[in-house]
Structure 1
């Protein structure tokens, strides 16, 4: 270790044990320690020694650097956002306290987050009631629940990956051959025909399964990548139904909408794992140095499907670059997000307008940006535009990003010195950002009082006091 700092990693050790499906007695036996000692480690009553870290690495084939690296920074950021709410802002909770809770009491952080989301829903309730009898209260709860569930799993579901990898081995590597093989498998094993139909026949639907006639109808509007994904989705829904249902049940969805949403999301995950099987895809990503355009062509997928898959490479012993991903519309609204290990923006609000993902992007050009957050951390962002389809007026943007230290593994970062190059200074989101000289600020920070004077006008909007 580079310093003498004691490592209290109890929550991470507990998560690892649960991911491996072990109880404390079994893990203690495999590590050669007593169950009571392991219990002390998990409860942060004892620090993790260098010897114990080496045992964990050898027994469970984990990357020590990834294990030791803090994964609670995102939780601390989200907790900080919650505690900046006007209801409790006057308490002035220090950042050190927030970090301590996030690091050592992740369950408390999650509970506070759930209470805050419930409070936010209640605050919206009068607006929904005013909107009329057709409005639905708490309409965003299932999506929020699903995002939390995926985040807790690190967007990696090992059992689904393993099952999809076995299925994929019999379907071929070439995307065209895979389409043909999936069609044949659907017909031979499940008596299901596949038809490409005119857009007006499906009336705005891109994929429809006719259960009575056992036909999968695909819109002519779907590109080749969309057709391949639709076929993979249907095959996984047939042959991996039990595994997906078990995964959904373990997540304990709170209502029927959440259960259905989780089923769809995990079937999408399985379909991506079928088209881009873990081992082959991870090796291709490393060997190509994450060349997004090459990988998109090789696996016959869309940029959105590719970016999503890159965020899911969390297999123990074979982890990929810990990417975060967002899909944004031209208004800057985030419609899809996977946080990775180091999402640098607000989780409960918008993103920073200085992030280039808000600007127009070309579909076949990757735009790279080096950004630096208010705490001095540096990130690389890779954005690419999506072609407009399905009658949508606005174009969306896919943004992938990671900590700048991974830049040598990514071809799109060539020529950028992650440590010395000038970086664009960004913040979490305007109402939480305390950069005083930002000319792009749209709102004052809620954590500071305004400092307005009639005799001067500052270059940056909304001048505020330092303390």
Structure 2
């Protein structure tokens, strides 16, 4: 936070009122003048690093929580929304965003709420009923972290750990004894198009033989969550207030999956392992009996107050570049929000060497840098002759925070970086030989006397 202006007047005011203090009393505690505190609360002065430290020490709170109280979720979140191709021609830079947030925080918050309610796709196509988009917005509203579910899953995981060393076996025994459900593994010819099925008549959770050990554990834990975390899931689903029934069911499935991942990777133990290993993905997968995708997804959820992990984002695409999964979490990454993809990003090159991790430092047009780790992931094979899916997944984090990562060893995070954009229609870089289309809102220029490295030359007006 020290390298950017942080306007958090609304959060400071809430903090003061919660403490039952007047401006004069709080100013005295912070060793500043009441007039200066008044300017801070009215967003006419940013929070300095020194004042931020005094607030944290004097009022016992996590400084990172201030960002959630900023208009629109903070500068990064507002910048992410403005990266939409709809706003490309406006050329709104970081300075303008800072000035807007300081001068009209209410207007910024109103814009953010309207954008989130309508959705990027709806702004362009007039469709606000996409259940997948609705669910993703609700997940991002929580920054991917559901504290009650995590606490419930951690308690269950501790009980299972005491019961047996084998997590899958312990979950199976708990389902059998406590809920009268037997796990049964069935051959692929019996379940040709299913990975799991709950047969309440036979009191069986039926799993396909094609599931890996990690996926079998996950499926069993998911079923346990649907039963034992039903209260927490019901409360979150009710709070989301989806108008669409499909969106609510999809959200419930996500929450059950969240619980399953939290049982396999209990919060405190998982975070300690992350910090001890430098977030070594391969080691974490072995230690917790999970797959790469499960580990990557779990890393986006580590936002417990007072015990936060690093803010990662994930993106999963197919060979056609279509996005099938994306979560920004607390990262504020525009890379996880946009539908556009840059071919210079190695997430697309991951298909060239399946299963091999590709590490890359990229720089966006706003000069933010990200360390990304990309590799292929594949659902369980369905056998010879069947269509077997393959995806590429990228796990990313701000380069400023990546110094302690095992994957960053030997990499100069402040040195050269690959310049990428958010898709050609949103990218303003002029001399890109990989460009496949001019940016939206820019006039196409044709000069018969010369030709540049890019197939498209465009104007700035």
TM over 0.5: yes
What pairs with 1:23-102 in structure 2 (closer than 5 Å)? 26=18, 28=20, 44=43, 48=47, 50-51=50-51, 54-56=54-56, 59-63=59-63, 67=67, 71-81=74-84, 83-84=86-87, 92=90, 94-95=92-93, 96-98=95-97, 100=99
Residues 353 and 33 of structure 1: CA distance in aligned 2, closer, same or farther (over 3 Å): same
The answer (yes or no) to whether the contact 1:345–1:429 under 8 Å persists in 2 is: no
With normalisation by structure 1, the TM-score equals 0.83
Per-residue CA shift, 1:193-214, capped at 9, x if unaligned? 1100011222311011112222
More deviation in 62-71 or 446-455?
Answer: 62-71
Aligned to 1:459: 453
The answer (yes or no) to whether the contact 1:440–1:460 under 8 Å persists in 2 is: yes
Distance 1:161 1:309 in 2: 11
Aligned to 2:170: 181
Per-residue CA shift, 1:128-183, capped at 9, x if unaligned? xxxxxxxxxx6x61111111111111111111111111111011299970111101
More deviation in 209-218 or 165-174?
Answer: 165-174
What pairs with 1:62-461 in structure 2 (closer than 5 Å)? 62-63=62-63, 67=67, 71-81=74-84, 83-84=86-87, 92=90, 94-95=92-93, 96-98=95-97, 100=99, 104=105, 105-115=108-118, 117-122=121-126, 141-172=130-161, 177-340=166-329, 341-345=331-335, 347-359=337-349, 360=351, 362-387=353-378, 389-390=381-382, 391-420=386-415, 422-461=416-455
The answer (yes or no) to whether the contact 1:345–1:352 under 8 Å persists in 2 is: no
More deviation in 190-199 or 112-121?
Answer: 112-121
Distance 2:266 2:359 in 1: 27
Distance 1:447 1:263 in 2: 40
Residues 362 and 93 of structure 1: CA distance in aligned 2, closer, same or farther (over 3 Å): closer
Per-residue CA shift, 1:69-97, capped at 9, x if unaligned? 98432332323425427xxx5xx474355
The answer (yes or no) to whether the contact 2:7–2:43 under 8 Å persists in 1 is: yes
The answer (yes or no) to whether the contact 1:383–1:399 under 8 Å persists in 2 is: yes
Q: Helix, strand or coil: the match of 1:187? A: helix
Query: In angstroms, what is the RMSD of aligned CA positions?
Result: 3.4
Distance 1:175 1:342 in 2: 40
Residues 247 and 101 of structure 1: CA distance in aligned 2, closer, same or farther (over 3 Å): farther
Q: CA deviation at 1:394?
A: 4.7
Distance 1:319 1:186 in 2: 32
Distance 1:163 1:74 in 2: 30
Size of the alignment, in residue pairs?
Answer: 437
Q: Helix, strand or coil: the match of 1:457? A: coil
With normalisation by structure 2, the TM-score equals 0.84
Residues 52 and 372 of structure 1: CA distance in aligned 2, closer, same or farther (over 3 Å): closer
